[in-house]
A and B are shown apart, each in its own frame.
Chain A
Amino acid sequence: TATVGGPYGEKASGPGVDFSYVGIDAILEQMRRKAMKQGFELNIMVVGQSGLGKSTLMNTLFKSKVSRKSVQATAQEKIPKTIEIKSISHDIEEKGVRMKLTVIDTPGFGDQINNENCWRPIMKFINDQYEAYLQEEININRKKRIPDSRVHCCIYFIPPTGHCLRPLDVEFMRRLSKVVNIVPVIAKADTLTLEERDFFKKKIREELRANGIDVYPQKEFDEDAEDRMINEKIREMIPFAVVGSDQEYQVNGRRLLGRKTKWGTIEVENIAHCEFAYLRDLLIRTHMQNIKDITSSIHYEMYRVRRLNENNTVVAHANGMPEHHLAAHEM
């Protein structure tokens, strides 16, 4: 290996004095510029029974009305008879960084009396997105940038029973963790005391381990020692106990997002109160790129391998073609 730097050592500052500086590291700036120009895409799915605060959490995470409910205000929210998959996209921008955020809601999940196979439509949706991407990828004339509708992350809402996971939870996570990054959260965690919360979390982690369920961040995808160290800390904390709110209250002279009750105000972004901030940091501020990478280089590749090894004639129509995307609008 050759270290660029010449006999005069590190890069000297000022113009005309950079005889030892090549400028290779300028590529970082070039990449940043390109990324800013292109913008980013993020597709998050929320899964859980109704009433667990999924929509509110989405709004809280993105500090904006991005949930389906906010977009499609209906007079009364009926629980649908079957599971529906509803996907809504938003363009958001922060400090010059543009993002196309798609929130995929799954109303009806876990709400029926008989919830057998309720993961099926969700599994199908996820696979359909992989299929759509694959179709585009193998075209002869393909787009410069293949639109990415693959589900990067699936937030699974666990009801705050305080005891253990329900069979439905185990079944869903067991199946889906094989095709998508699952981030389990304890919903409406303000109904648990800290001790109850810790006990519940420990129980959940045990059950996940016992059932061989690998949630994000998956141990096997840690890239190096540094990664492993960071991710171990996260793995010791999941599932995050979250509280969502899009209402602001005055607390100690500041306006904060929170839930106001007679016995006090729960501050959503206060880590002493709940773990929302950890979830937000994980999903958005530190691991967003990693979540997308795992989706594209592992989950998608696995899907692709499976597809390529299958017999063509059987699956030609089973998983749908791109036309599906502009299906019926809900009235």
Chain B
Amino acid sequence: STLWFVAGEGARAVPLAGHVGFDSMPDQLVNKSVNHGFCFNILCVGETGLGKSTLMDTLFNTKFEGEPTQHNQPGVTLKSNTYELQESNVRLKLTVVNTVGFGDQINKEDSYKSIVEFIDAQFEAYLQEELKIKRTLHSYHDTRIHACLYFIAPTGHSLKSLDLVTMKKLDSKVNIIPIVAKSDAISKSELAKFKIKITSELVSNGVQIYQFPTDDESVAEINSTMNSHLPFAVVGSTEEVKIGNKMVKARQYPWGTVQVENENHCDFVKLREMLIRVNMEDLREQTHTRHYELYRRCKLEEMGFKDTDPDSKPFSLQETYEAKRNEFMGELQKKEEEMRQMFVQRVKEKEAELKEAEKELHEKFDRLKKLHQDEKKKVEDKRKSLDDELNMFKQKKTAAELLQNQAQQAGGSTTLKRDKERKK
């Protein structure tokens, strides 16, 4: 028999008498991550024409290729592109997902659906990998969405109901960072009012947007300041304009130039700071420990798993998941088979009906034909008899005429005689 002894959770703090060297651990961890590379996935949600692609280009200082999107989509589709970026020794696999056709439909009730489905599909893919028997999590290309930039149209009034509905559906699945797009369309004072309106609408509708974390003292201050500047009013541009003796990213108008990186002009710098330079890692962590866990929990519970049952052997999670999936596939196949059978049946019935109809038609045709023939015969007969009559009449006529002629010859005298008799 073996005895175990564990000091328990409260491990005692022990002072070190010299330099051990494990202070290199953060460096070891970072080096490993550098060798591995990083993954970051951004989802841009917003109506067409709000400058989503331009903003991505501006944020990452590069021109991501892509044709401008069409406006004639029947629904909302999500288009995803992955790029390999490198800055000093950091390699980043950046995936940008765009909502194509969002807000273009007449009926927008289902617009949010394809977005939710997409986000869930990425969680599902990760879950499937995690549940595999032979899995390769450390080399898995993580496609889960780490940040959702929600582009609000710069109307200056309030959020559209589409925005509220969509954000409400997404807030438990992804980190939402709302931004006011093309904010150079709004004046400074209107913008302040707009931001307040948006924030209060989000709060009163219970929409949980991403809060920059304030638990780590080194970034608590900047993060909490930035939280109060949400939603960020951004302007994007990849064009450069000469201001003074520098080339800066800007949008040039006849009345002035909006400088993208000028904090007095817009919040672009704040967005870049928060999204990339300060909180990228936190966004990834929240996605994994909060949103993904929630999805996983719901999905597993939906499939009927419980934690507390001691007999639910560990592996039943894996096996039952497989079994349920097979069951589902089986059901699907069964349904498909049923539908096929039904279809075949219907076709047969229809065929029979058509045959029946054809038969009837043939019969009718035959009947009519016979009728016609009968009629024809009758008419023929009649004609014949008419002809006969005619002939007979002709004969009679001829005979009568002949007689008459003869009678006339002999009877001219007769007529005279008669007339003489009358005269007497």
Interface of A with B (CB < 8 Å)? 1-6, 11, 16-17, 19-28, 30-37, 40, 42, 61-66, 71, 82-97, 99-100, 102, 121, 124-125, 134-135, 138-142, 144, 223, 257, 280-281, 284-290, 293, 297, 301, 304-305, 307-310, 312-313, 315-316, 321, 324-330
Contacts and interface: CB of A to CB of B under 8 A. Distances in A.
Interface in B256-296: 261, 272-273, 276-282, 285, 289, 293, 296
B22 A26 contact: no
Contacts of A304: 133
Given A97-B22, A293-B32, A312-B313, A23 B2 contact: no
A6 B225 CA distance: 30
Contact of B25 (A2, A40, A312): A40
A23 B388 CA distance: 118
B23 A96 contact: yes
Contacts, number: 263
B22 A99 contact: yes
Contact of A3 (B13, B86, B282): B86
Contacts of B90: 24-25, 27-28
Given A30-B278, A63-B19, A83-B2, A90 B26 contact: no
B72 interface: no
Nearest to A287: B28
The secondary-structure label for the interface of chain A is mixed
Nearest to B215: A37
B38 A4 contact: no
A220 to B, nearest CB: 16
B2 A30 contact: no
Contact of B6 (A91, A142, A289, A325): A325
A308 to B, nearest CB: 5
22 contacts: A2-B64, A4-B61, A21-B61, A22-B276, A23-B87, A23-B276, A25-B90, A27-B280, A31-B29, A33-B216, A34-B281, A35-B30, A64-B15, A64-B20, A84-B4, A91-B11, A92-B22, A102-B11, A140-B305, A284-B22, A289-B31, A307-B315
Nearest to B134: A305
Given A87-B6, A301-B135, A307-B315, A31 B33 contact: yes
Contact of B87 (A22, A65, A88, A288): A22
Contacts of A121: 2
Chain B contact residues (Cβ within 8 angstroms of A): what range?
A: 35 or more
- A-B CB proximity, top 7 nearest: A89-B11, A289-B28, A30-B281, A23-B277, A285-B21, A95-B23, A312-B313
Interface in B284-324: 285, 289, 293, 296-297, 300-301, 305-307, 310-311, 313-319
B380 to A, nearest CB: 94
A24 B2 contact: no
Contacts of B11: 89-91, 100, 102
A91 B23 CA distance: 14
B66 interface: no
A36 B319 CA distance: 38
B410 interface: no
B29 A35 contact: yes
B10 to A, nearest CB: 9
Contacts of A100: 11
A5 B61 contact: yes
Nearest to A89: B11
A151 to B, nearest CB: 13
B254 interface: no
A93 B11 CA distance: 13
A324 B2 CA distance: 12
B244 to A, nearest CB: 11
A139 B135 contact: no
User: Which of A71, A141, A328 has the most CB atoms of chain B within a 10 A radius of its CB?
Assistant: A141
A26 B278 CA distance: 7
Contacts of B278: 26, 30
B24 interface: yes
Most chain A beta-carbon contacts within 10 A, residue among B6, B60, B134: B6
A11 B29 contact: no
Contact of A289 (B16, B32, B249, B318): B32
Contact of A87 (B4, B19, B297): B4
A288 B404 CA distance: 150
A23 B272 contact: yes
B62 A2 contact: yes
B85 interface: yes
B88 interface: yes
B36 to A, nearest CB: 10
A25 B313 contact: no
B5 interface: yes
